Structure 1
Amino acid sequence: MLADGDRQTAVPALVSEACGIVLELGPGIGSQLPRYDTSKITKIYGVEPNVDLHKSLRENIKTSGLIDVYEIIPCGVEDVVELKKHGIVLGNIDTILSVQVLCSVPDPNEMLRRLYALLRPGGQLIVYEHVKSKDLISSMVQNVYNVFWPFFIGNCHLNRTTQHSIMQAGDWRRIELTSPTSEDAWLVFPRIYGRLWKRL
C-alpha cells in the first residue's frame, strides 16, 4: 500500500516493534501505518507540523483501521504546550518512532534530549536515519551535495552525525544500533537503524 520503496529495508520490522503509547515523528501521509502491530499498541500520537499532509494522513489512518488509536498533533516536538494539551508529558511515552526525520529538524541534539525526556523509564527509541559517512570520499561528496540538498529536500542534511546525537541524548540502558558495513560505508546515504532503551 504505502512506502513500497523501503519494503526491503529494516523499516517494516522496526515499526512492528513499537508498543504501548507511541509518539511517531513526522508521519507525513502515514507511510508506516500498515506496519504497526496493533496488538501491541495502546495509542499513537503522530506529531506532524505540515498541515497540508493531514488530509492524506487521516485517509490512511482510516484505511489502516487505526481511527480509534491514532491522533494527529499539528506541531513539532518542541511545542511543549501543544503536546501537553494532548497528554504528552515527560516520562509517559513507551515508544518513539523516527524514520528519516532527524536529518531535517533544526537542532537534532536538542530534539533528541527532548525525546529522551518524554520516554518513560524502560521506554524505547526506534530509529531509521541516514547519517554522515565514515568513508572520507563519501563524506566529502555528502558535504558538496549538502550545499544545495536541504533547499530541495525539506531541509534534509546528508552529513549529520545523528548516531552521536542519539548516544548523547541520555543514559541508555540497552543499545541495538546497526551502522553501515564496510561494503556500503562509501554510499552517500549510509544508514543507522535499530532500538535504544532508556535506563530504568
Structure 2
Amino acid sequence: MGVPTTVTMVDIAGNIADKPTYMAVQINGEQYPEKHKPKGLFAKIITYTPFEHGLLKIDHDQLTFCDEKGKAFKTLTSGDLTQVELAMYHAMVRIPGPVVPMRAQYTVTLQLTTTSNHYELLVSAPNVVPVLVDWLQSQKLTYTDPLGLAKVGADFDWEKISEAQFGRWSKGTPYEQFCQTIGSERVM
C-alpha cells in the first residue's frame, strides 16, 4: 500500500475493484474480527469507526462479497481465482489515554485476482491468518506469502505480534515500510 493510498469509504460494491477495502471475513461460522458491541456511551464514542466495512463470506469454495449494509453483491468460487496473496501491513495508531499514546496495528491484506478484477481486502484481525491459510490449502490454491505467515502457524498468538517479529517477517518485502493510518482505529 503506497503512500498515499485511498481506501473504500462508501459504496463498497462500486469501489471494491478499484481501492483497498476493509472487510470482515466470515469462515467456518466464525467472523474475523468478531462483532464488537461496545457497552456504555463512552465506549461507543471511543470505538466509533468513521468508515464503512464490508463482509467476505467464505463457504467451502464459494466467496460472497457483501457491502456495508450486509447486502451480497458479488459471488466467486475459488476456481475463479487466478492469483492470491496473503500479507500484512503495519501502522501506528492513537489509542485513548494521556499524552496521545500510540501502538502498532497490524492489518491483514488478502489480495484476490480473477481474470477480470483485482480485490485488495483489508482485515483488521490478524488471527484470521491461520484460518485463511487452512482455507487456501483445503482449496488447493497456489498463493504468495511474502512474509511467510503460513509458517508462523495457528499456535502463535496473533493478537500479540511484536515489532521485532513483524520486522523479521517483513524484511526485504514491500510490507516492511510503515503505513500511515489516518482516522480512528479499526473496530467492528
Fold conserved between structures, TM > 0.5: no
Report the TM-score when normalising by structure 1: 0.31
More helix by share: 1
* TM-score, normalization by structure 2: 0.32
Q: Which has the higher contact order (CA 8 A, sep 6+)?
A: 2
Structure with a larger share of its residues in strand = 2
